[in-house]
Structure 1
Amino acid sequence: MSRDASNYNLSGSLAPELGNIDSLQYLELRNNQFTGTIPQELGKFGNLKSLDLSGNFIDGAIPPSLGNLSNLIFMYLNDNELQGSIPNQLALIPTLAVFNASTNDLCGQVPPFNSDKTSLFAQSKDQRALLRKLDKEEYVWQ
């Protein structure tokens, strides 16, 4: 099952009840007007392969519970107002191929994603804090 509600000018906050849809594989809510935080209940999607919340006005921290999405391949959280650091749990998703958190207000050390498997995109809104790769496994904001 998939839900693509991209570009519909939807608004309001994301309902925690979304996490109760067990069969959902694709949740595409990009380019709307969603506000508030990402509900930790979204980490319950056992079958989710793609989560796209990009292009909204979502703020707060990225919930560590998203690290429970063990079948996730794509995670797009870019172009929001997210703050804080990227939870270490996200780097443990074995199937994650793309993680995009660019154009947010993130800070702190970036967890050691598998650089051979995961394409990582992260950059702050003001373009002053670019993600810099220190070595094969370590990234920091500069």
Structure 2
Amino acid sequence: MQESSNRFVSAALKRLIDYKTFDMTRGCLVRAKDVKSNTRGKEYLDKLLSKNLGGEFIKLNIEDIKPLLAILFVKQACKDYEVSEEEIFEFIVQQKIAVENYLIREILSDPSGQIPSGLINEEYLVETQPIQNKNVTKELDDMLDNLIIKLGL
């Protein structure tokens, strides 16, 4: 959940803590940005991280999400790349992409109940995001190319 608007953050967290309605046993917020104090979202986040709900808040790092996105893109276009789902899963296992991925390990681990450190405080962001987004897109393109080469396509 990377939205900045308090309204969107609050709505997402409200649903994330509604385990019964959405038939969940645990919720996990993956986000690079902080949740602003004195908002409904912060109240919902506190409930998510409480012992009662046992939820988790994991800091999103671009390096952890890139290999997962590359695999997703290849999987979505597996017919175009002439690769089977089995080959993709075999690649994931061989390269230990899931087992060694921080995000996946944290999502599956016991919840800490803590807010991660080093989150982005949007009030202090400089207007360089479009440049950063272009770099991220280039990095994702490069990772996709490397994944396709490794798969032998």
> TM-score under structure 2 normalisation?
0.26
Greater Rg by CA? 2
> TM-score under structure 1 normalisation?
0.27
- Higher fraction of strand: 1
